[in-house]
Amino acid sequence: MRPSLLLPLCMALLCLACAARSVKEAALETLEREVEMTAEIHRQLRAQARLVTDPVLLDYVNEIGQRIVRPTEPQPFIYRFSVLQSRDLNAFTIGGGYVYISSAVLAQVDDVAELAAVLAHEIAHVRARHTAKAQQNQGLAMLASLAALAGGHSSSSQGINVSMQIKHTRKAETEADREGIEYMFRSGYSPDGMIRFFQRALAASRRAGRGARPYLFTHPALSDRIADVRADIIRLDTPPGLVSQDARLAGMQARLARSHLAGGTGRQARASFERGVSDPYLVRARRKSEDGDLARADEILAHAQELQPWDPRIVLARATLSERRGDLKRAKLQLQRAFEIDPRMPLVQYRLGSIHTRLGNHSRAVFYLEQAAIGFNVGSSGQRQAQLAIEQLSTAKLIRSR
């Protein structure tokens, strides 16, 4: 190459590199603004709207949602799944990883594939960043207006009010349907659930007539989309054996019915146990642990657990021993058992979040840490530690997307 041409070429390449970096930096800045704005909208919604707060129900929905998200990684967002108390079939996302379904969705689905379909569709909207990119790249301006709306004071209607403002284009809806089917297939759920749920929503809209429910306002042309989804499923040629049924769903729906009577909290009587029976075993196990005999300490606690299976202190002590022995998976199972005994113990939630963090399950970790942050006393060191851990995980997720 002639020397006279070398300098202009180098300068042109440098300009292209700078332009590419500027585009990337602008995209990252937009992404960071989306994360910031959606976090604020979610905070306002949580303060103003009526949300189901029963940790067991939320854990169930979150588990299904995270199973669908997993094959779509890497993503810049930590996904959060919330349940709004509403009799209307409704689901929406504000972007940034925040997905909302109404309690009616959980109550009315016939199988877990229907529930997975609703979540998969909204996850597809999040991953494509349809909300932030909406209205000819004015999506962030719309998010700002949603934040203002969510910050209003009309309480229980806020979730529906926000969802009504999010009107995706037909192209975006079609994309979310198609991607949602792919996500269901890849996560092991039968995509036929999307057809069944759309049919359920269509029947609800016909019964409602002009007073169509919110889901139909934000998700138009259901009859056409049902036909499109059928064609997409045939195109995919999905294998047999994909999940449609989950034995836990009926129990969750019954719990939801009871939860409504408790204002969505799911508060139930705690299982009883006799401290006088457990205490001597806990003391003996602690002494063995202090002497370094962790195996014998666990044997003592295992016997105590047979006698008092509903004493969460025993399970927590066993989880601590498992952590000391480096068996994090076993510690996770024991902490999960403690969560089942009493899902409203913030210490258990915090420790579950910490274990999932160490195991690399960051989205699951954030779920439990957020439950702990709500459960700890306001301003307490436990709440501050949980909030700091959430911030660190969310920031790390965003940084890894760069």
Task: Copy the structure tokens of residue 142.
Answer: 């719309």
- 15 Cβ neighbours under 8 A, 6+ residues apart: none
CA atoms within 13 A on the CB side of 255: 20
What is the distance between the alpha carbons of residues 355 and 175, in angstroms, rounded to a whole number? 36
Instruction: Note whether 301 and 399 are same-domain residues.
Output: no
Longest dimension (CA), the chain: 92
Neighbour-count burial of 132, counting CB atoms closer than 10 A to its CB (0-12 exposed, 13-18 middle, 19+ buried): buried
Give the residue with greater pLDDT, 29 vs 392. 392
Over residues 315-335, the pLDDT tens digits come to 999 999 999 999 999 999 999
Let me know: does 38 contact 143? Beta carbons within 8 Å. yes
Task: Copy the structure tokens of residue 90.
Answer: 């409704």
What is the distance between the alpha carbons of residues 261 and 7, in angstroms, rounded to a whole number? 76
What is residue 243's DSSP assignment?
B
Instruction: Note whether 139 and 247 are same-domain residues.
Output: yes
Among the listed residues 80, 78, 108, 110, the one whose alpha carbon sits nearest the alpha carbon of residue 93 = 80
Over residues 261-309, the pLDDT tens digits come to 555 566 666 678 999 999 999 999 999 999 999 999 999 999 999 999 9
What is the distance between the alpha carbons of residues 231 and 66, in angstroms, rounded to a whole number? 27
Q: Is the pLDDT of residue 63 over 60?
A: yes
Instruction: Flag whether 335 is in a domain.
Output: no
Q: pLDDT-based confidence at 260, cuts 50/70/90?
A: low
Instruction: Note whether 292 and 402 are same-domain residues.
Output: no
Place of tokens 């806020």: 158
Instruction: Note whether 138 and 91 are same-domain residues.
Output: yes
Q: pLDDT-based confidence at 341, cuts 50/70/90?
A: very high
Place of tokens 């969460």: 312
Instruction: Flag whether 6 is in a domain.
Output: no
Helix, strand or coil for residue 241?
Answer: coil
From 327, 353, 368, give the residue that closes a domain.
327
Q: In what order do the strands lie in the sheet with 98-102?
A: 80-84, 98-102, 91-95
Instruction: Note whether 312 and 181 are same-domain residues.
Output: no
Instruction: Note whether 43 and 172 are same-domain residues.
Output: yes
Give the pLDDT score at 214. Answer: 55
Place of tokens 């196990």: 285
Give the count of domains, the chain: 3
Instruction: Note whether 117 and 241 are same-domain residues.
Output: yes
Give the pLDDT score at 12. Answer: 41
Over residues 237-254, the pLDDT tens digits come to 777 789 999 999 999 999
Let me know: does 141 contact 192? Beta carbons within 8 Å. no
The least confident of 13-22, 230-239, 356-365 is: 13-22
- Mean pLDDT, range 220-243, rounded to an integer: 85
Q: Which domain holds residue 154?
A: 25-261
What is residue 95's DSSP assignment?
E
Let me know: does 117 contact 180? Beta carbons within 8 Å. yes
Instruction: Flag whether 333 is in a domain.
Output: no
Instruction: Flag whether 19 is in a domain.
Output: no
Instruction: Note whether 238 and 356 are same-domain residues.
Output: no
Q: Is the pLDDT of residue 159 over 90?
A: no
